Amino acid sequence: MPAPRVPSAPAAASHNPPPPAAPRKTGASTGQRNVLLPDVEINGKVSFQNDLIVDGKIEGEIVSDGSLTIGENAKIKAEIHTRSVIVYGKVHGNITVTERVELRKDAELIGDVKAAVLVMEAGAVFVGSSTVGAPASKSAAASPPKKAADKKPAGPGSLAAAS
């Protein structure tokens, strides 16, 4: 089975992650990685602890408090809600994270981003809107605040008065 295609730093170009082991239910260990290889296809909701590297296909929803890495061969059609995301492959769907989104040079993102930090390398494709700055929370992502829109005064130049 081929290893996931996630570019690494130039100094560690030959590093391949160990083969995936049976999933453990403890979230206490640090550095634990889950890997979905290119021949894996998932339709539905994916949730994980710690880190997940995806080089296969996912359609549905990805939810975690961990970090997600989308490999070069990955094709994702999903709503993503995680702590952070690094994209090398293709994502069609919205990404909401509490920390940072990184779009690497050959990444393709068709969808909206909500993140505290957005990093985009030259060559990455991003079609959508971004909300960057304050950390995105899961509750804010589920129901956008309407109070700000309700408090806007309808002045003489507003569209509401032009009917």
Over the stretch 13-46, which tens digit does the pLDDT of each residue have? 334 444 443 333 333 445 688 899 999 999 999 9
- All structural domains of the chain with their residue ranges: 35-140
Give the span between the Cα atoms of 73 and 40, in whole angstroms: 11
Closest CA to 114 of 146, 88, 149, 79: 79
pLDDT in tens, 66-89: 999 999 999 999 999 999 999 999
Concatenate the DSSP letters of all residues of 71-83 into one string: -TT-EEEEEEEES
Per-residue confidence (pLDDT) for residue 29, from 0 to 100: 43
pTM of the shown model: 0.66
Q: What does the DSSP 8-state code read for residue 156?
A: T
Q: How many CB atoms lie within 10 A of CB 65?
A: 14
- Is the pLDDT score of 65 beyond 90? yes
How many Cα atoms occupy the beta-carbon half-sphere of 109 within 13 Å? 31
Distance CA(17)–CA(117), nearest Å, equals 27
